[in-house]
Structure 1
């Protein structure tokens, strides 16, 4: 069943819980109160029925039926249409899961349409029903309470992102898998960007709602509550923006550290190649002398000289020592 909860209120108190939309419409006209219809993934026909009864604008109805809308607040005549993107953080996958909530707030009705399991608006309805004075302010009070719930549910998401960012900052200077860390930073950056897209419009939406209530309704107490949610949304937006900056810096630092480590490895390899080349040259000099005097020729200088052998050995030692000194001077050894 698409209708989760359906009630008619008079002076902030529930007077009826109709079993169908037709009964709701009849009771609303009879009591001259406010109808609050909560729907979960309704069919097109159910949305059309509500739209016909409350004369909802066709463009807003199309948005509600198609879903996948950005966060926004629009006004069609005396009806406000809000799209909210509630979210929750899946810590195991380091992923932000988004829902979608549409709210129609008219002169005497509120229609909430959820396209995801969260957030449940039952706690919102229960809190408002416990405060008839607030609920008596009408659909604007319901819209405020819904916004407040969505913004409050962003707090665990922010905490989860912040915790993962702290872990990344710790891993940056640790001996870790560079590819895995790069992939983690990139994926978390993508989640932060998506979360930023969902939360960034909130401040503008709340400012527009505040102006509407101040200029049209003049409800001072509701303005105070909305300003509190607005302040919360501003702080939330600032923290999310800082997350994006931190992750961008982390990716830059990580790239720098990877480059530095590769440079250090290259330098180490160069030093090792120098040492190997130096010792190869040192051993090559005696082999050259030995190879020349080991050739089977009768006519060779110093071949029949009595000091020929000591001279050859001395020549090999001198060449080796000379090369060792040169390489030592150049710090190759």
Structure 2
């Protein structure tokens, strides 16, 4: 599907009108942004003919080599980044590859997912924001706005994950008297830490890919003498992105600490179980020795014909079992 974005005439601020484009329709000349969502081959050919570019395939967008992600071809600048999508609890978070193509004053985006950041930007661009008439006037400013929306969304995700990790931290170190409840809580905590760690890792990977695009744009704008306002916006966005990367690194370190603490608590629980078995073995060892001695079938055993031999042996086994238990309790080993 192709969505075109055109400036709305007669507005004080530049507002973009978004509407779908059918395959048989002609692309208007005043289109500043073509958003290709899960495009077909016919739609690729239509945009290629209008823009004079080559639209990358989904397989080409999955390359990880920098030379395949950032390059210039026939006057068009191609930039591919990874954006976090499906962050909601009911879905599996993933990284969606998105290609930004700049040629002249127009922007083309190619994507196969629906990241929240794109919905945020299209809603923002479709209403008056009071930020001036040039906010959505060219492909370059739209690209800067999209990247800013991606970073805003990343900040929201990291803030939400930070709050969840704080709650999880309090849950890990709270006292639980019931051993079964404590074991279940530790297992749930390990799974939760794994989910949070995976999400933050993907978010950091997305930020790194966006940083590469911003650094490339910054170098290009500096060489091409781009407008000062646009260069300042790119530098400001880059600073925000780098601060978010540091925050993501901090959260990853905190998750690693909580993971080590949880595994340490699991080891303590296992040690308590092993200690219990060890104590039980020591408690039953003396009674077993007494029972083994008096279980021998020798005729010359002195106590064999004694009427009080059996009660004495039973009493000795009970005392031999109780004394180690009392000693361990006195030492507070139990």
TM score, norm. by length of structure 2? 0.72
> Is it true that 1:24 corresponds to 2:27 in the alignment?
yes
The alignment's C-alpha RMSD in Å is 4.2
Q: Out of 36, 39, 42, which is 1:42 matched to?
A: 39
2:198 maps to what in 1? 190
- Residues 38/125 of structure 1: CA separation in 2 closer, same or farther (3 Å cut): farther
2:123 maps to what in 1? 123
Unaligned runs of 5+ in 2: 175-181, 330-334
Cα offsets for 1:34-67 (capped at 9, x unmatched): 63223322221112222233221x4xx2246865
Cα offsets for 1:202-260 (capped at 9, x unmatched): 22321221121122033111112112211221121112222222222322222222122
CA distance in 1, matches of 2:86, 2:163: 11
Question: How do 1:295-306 and structure 2 match up within 5 A?
Answer: 295=304
Larger Rg computed on CA atoms? 1
1:4 maps to what in 2? 3
2:177 maps to what in 1? none
TM score, norm. by length of structure 1? 0.72
Question: How do 1:154-233 and structure 2 match up within 5 A?
Answer: 154-174=154-174, 175-177=182-184, 178-233=186-241
1:303 maps to what in 2? none
Q: Out of 235, 248, 251, which is 1:243 matched to?
A: 251
CA distance in 2, matches of 1:156, 1:215: 33
1:86 maps to what in 2? 83
Structure having the larger proportion of residues in helix:
1
TM-superposed CA distance for 1:96, in Å, is 2.4
- Residues 52/89 of structure 1: CA separation in 2 closer, same or farther (3 Å cut): closer
TM-superposed CA distance for 1:294, in Å, is 5.7
Cα offsets for 1:278-301 (capped at 9, x unmatched): 3444677788899934646xxxxx
- Residues 198/161 of structure 1: CA separation in 2 closer, same or farther (3 Å cut): same
CA contact (8 A) 1:7 1:17 kept: yes
Secondary structure in 2 aligned to 1:24? coil
1:269 maps to what in 2? 277
1:150 maps to what in 2? 150
Q: Greater CA deviation, 184-193 or 284-293?
A: 284-293
Q: Which runs of 4+ in 1 moved over 6 A?
A: 14-22, 283-291
> Is it true that 1:52 corresponds to 2:52 in the alignment?
no
- Residues 287/50 of structure 1: CA separation in 2 closer, same or farther (3 Å cut): closer
1:302 maps to what in 2? none
